[in-house]
């Protein structure tokens, strides 16, 4: 007879629980115990024992380990989501207590959309330098992700501040406009349009081409729907779009600053730049409720100061 294990929830969450949950989070995000060794700077036997300790404390099986590889169980996936919320809440609590004492410390998580470093209108690095001078004790974590992942992370408390291209607004988020970005249509060397880059192609011409586009909700996807364009290849990020363009089999939209090195190397060209393109506006986002803690508010102020409105 199979005996069902009853979950043994601790009456209080102690420091040991938080330590074990942080280990579990690292293992889940690294995709296994062996992969988490470098992240945690701890040997596999210790990590394995800590995961086992957590499973025993909770009365749950959190992951499967064997010849088929590592995988979280259904309970493990639920606990991972809950762990992100709990650790984000503890970070927020610590920041607020330090704010009460007029200290700025703890940790701060900033998430930013990809390929912004080369944008001449982006001065995020200046904001980070000013923030570090104002709050040198804060441990800053910078993440890169999709728009949806950043928005969900900010709403869930995983990130305190995000920087995303605006495509739709949430009533639960505050938006602070920062900078813009020009998106142009590009073709690779092997494409028929490459040799005729000076010709004026229009949206009707583009509908007959094989388009590569981002596969998540974004200004790129919104334009695809608005202009009734069919995506013949989907991409998870803009580097994947660039790869598809460089193949010569597809056309696609890229930020002009990101595409510039490929253009200079004569590996791709922009076509009908004055017509086949669109503009993006990037904004800083944070939760409306609760309002940002002191460290997050300082970063938002630094971002605004680095991007004065014209």
**Do 286 and 174 contact (CB within 8 A), yes or no?**
yes
Alpha-carbon distance of 9 to 271, in angstroms, equals 61
Q: What is the pLDDT of residues 161-217, one digit of tens each?
A: 999 999 888 889 999 999 999 999 999 999 999 988 678 899 999 999 999 998 888
pLDDT at 144: 94
Instruction: Count other Cβ atoms within 10 Å, centred on residue 41.
Output: 7
Equal fold, 15-84 vs 180-280: no
15-84, CATH topology level: Arc Repressor Mutant, subunit A (1.10.10)
Relative orientation angle of helices 294-306 and 124-134, to the nearest 10 degrees: 140
Domain parsing of the chain, residue ranges = 15-84, 91-166+293-306, 180-280
Report pLDDT for 57. Answer: 87
Helix and strand numbers, DSSP H then E, in the chain: 11, 11
**Is residue 5 predicted with pLDDT exceeding 70?**
no
CA distances (Å), origin 291, targets 92, 105, 155, 159, 295: 11, 17, 12, 13, 11
What's the first-to-final CA gap in the chain, in angstroms? 73
The answer to whether domain 91-166+293-306 has CATH 3.40.190.10 is yes
Residues 6+ apart with CB under 8 A from 303: 124, 127, 161, 163, 176, 178, 284
Task: Give the pair of three-digit tokens for residue 46.
Answer: 């210790």
Q: Who contacts 296 (Cβ-Cβ below 8 Å, separation ≥6)? A: 95, 108, 160, 161, 286
Specify the pLDDT at position 104: 67
Distance CA 297, CA 130 (A): 13
Q: Of all helices (H) and strands (E), which one includes residue 306?
A: helix 294-306
Give 15-41 pLDDT, tens digit per residue. Answer: 778 888 989 998 998 888 888 887 787
- pLDDT of the residue at 212: 96
What is the rounded CA–CA span in Å between residue 193 and residue 199?
8
Q: Quick one: which of 273, 239, 13 has its CA closest to 146?
A: 239
Give the length of the chain. 310
Confidence tier at 98 by pLDDT (50, 70, 90): low
Cβ atoms of residues 183 and 279 within 8 Å: yes
Is pLDDT of 4 > 80?
no
Q: What is the pTM of this model?
A: 0.69
- Report yes or no: 240 and 199 within 8 Å, Cβ to Cβ: no
Q: Are 179 and 280 in contact (CB under 8 A)?
A: no
Whole-angstrom Cα distance, residue 197 to residue 261?
17
Mean pLDDT within 277-293: 92
For the 180-280 domain, the top CATH level (class) is alpha beta
pLDDT of residue 7: 46
pLDDT at residue 88 in the model = 82
Extract the runs of DSSP E, i.e. beta strands, from the chain.
Answer: 63-64, 71-72, 107-113, 139-145, 161-165, 173-188, 211-214, 231-235, 251-255, 268-270, 277-287
Average pLDDT over residues 221-240: 92
pLDDT value at 159 more than 50: yes
pLDDT at 53 over 80: yes
């Amino acid at each position: 007879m199979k005996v069902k294990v009853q979950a043994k929830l601790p009456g209080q969450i102690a420091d040991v629980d938080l330590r074990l949950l942080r280990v579990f989070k690292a293992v889940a995000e690294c995709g296994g115990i062996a992969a988490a060794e470098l992240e945690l700077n701890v040997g596999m036997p210790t990590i394995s024992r800590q995961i086992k300790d957590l499973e025993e404390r909770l009365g749950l099986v959190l992951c499967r380990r064997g010849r088929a590889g590592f995988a979280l169980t259904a309970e493990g996936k639920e606990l991972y989501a809950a762990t992100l919320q709990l650790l984000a809440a503890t970070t927020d609590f610590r920041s607020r207590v330090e704010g009460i004492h007029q200290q700025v410390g703890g940790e701060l998580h900033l998430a930013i959309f990809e390929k912004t470093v080369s944008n001449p209108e982006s001065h995020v690095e200046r904001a980070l330098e000013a923030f570090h001078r104002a709050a040198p004790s804060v441990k800053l974590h910078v993440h890169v992700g999709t728009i949806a992942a950043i928005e969900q992370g900010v709403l869930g408390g995983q990130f305190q501040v995000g920087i995303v291209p605006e495509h739709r607004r949430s009533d639960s988020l505050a938006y602070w406009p920062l900078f813009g970005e020009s998106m142009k249509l590009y073709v690779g060397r092997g494409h028929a349009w490459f040799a005729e880059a000076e010709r004026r192609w229009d949206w009707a011409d583009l509908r007959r081409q094989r388009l590569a586009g981002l596969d998540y909700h974004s200004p790129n996807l919104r334009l695809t729907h608005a202009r009734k364009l069919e995506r013949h290849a989907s991409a998870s990020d803009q580097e994947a779009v660039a790869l598809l363009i460089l193949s010569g089999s597809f056309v696609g939209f890229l930020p002009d600053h990101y595409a510039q090195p490929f253009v200079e190397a004569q590996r791709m060209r922009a076509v009908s730049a004055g017509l086949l393109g669109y503009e993006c506006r990037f904004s800083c986002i944070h939760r409306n409720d609760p309002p940002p803690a002191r460290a997050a508010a300082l970063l938002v102020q630094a971002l605004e100061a680095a991007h004065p409105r014209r």
